[in-house]
Structure 1
């Protein structure tokens, strides 16, 4: 019988190592933009959808408000996003892009291509991996 507690038999380890490797590939590219990987994820959502509440961002990015709030404050301090309380309900904070935040998109446009070129696998393989990961994350 195979020892299930051997590191080489764990699915969690290659997933963890892969996540760290990908994040490390992004770091020098994002340093040029003065943002971190989690901040980049927020910017991706806002470049796509322009404005979201903190709760909507948290749901989309699978981050809790304790993680998201300081991250959003730093993005606001850098001038990339606005944080405005809703007039209808002061508990709701709306996050939207500033002009500088919108302009950052142009500087980031080549990042996905650069990351793919570092991975040494085909686009088809990456799409297959993404499909499997999304299937697992849904459960």
Structure 2
């Protein structure tokens, strides 16, 4: 995935001079612009499926609760 992102100009990768096993990844200006463009996606998605803000917040809360329950169940094994 990083290779594709780099090919599109969204990130740069550079090996550390101190430890060549370490790769430093930086977001380019094009990557930052893409992030800015995508910020509206969650709100637009909610609007398209007919959710209002309270419904969205309720769903988000329920999902967090579900993840907490799943996490506690998997940690008991």
Give TM-score, length-normalised by structure 1.
0.43
Aligned to 1:114: 44
Change (3 A) 1:78 1:110: same
> How many residues are matched?
69
Q: Which runs of 5+ in 2 are unaligned?
A: none
Rg comparison, structure with higher value:
2
CA distance in 2, matches of 1:137, 1:94: 31
* 1:28-107 correspondence to structure 2 within 5 Å: 71-107=1-37
> Any runs of at least 4 consecutive aligned residues in structure 1 with deviations exceeding 4 A, and if so which?
none
1:128 partnered with 2:62:
yes
Change (3 A) 1:134 1:114: farther
Give TM-score, length-normalised by structure 2.
0.72
Q: Which runs of 5+ in 1 are unaligned?
A: 1-70
1:107 counterpart SS class = helix
Change (3 A) 1:115 1:100: same
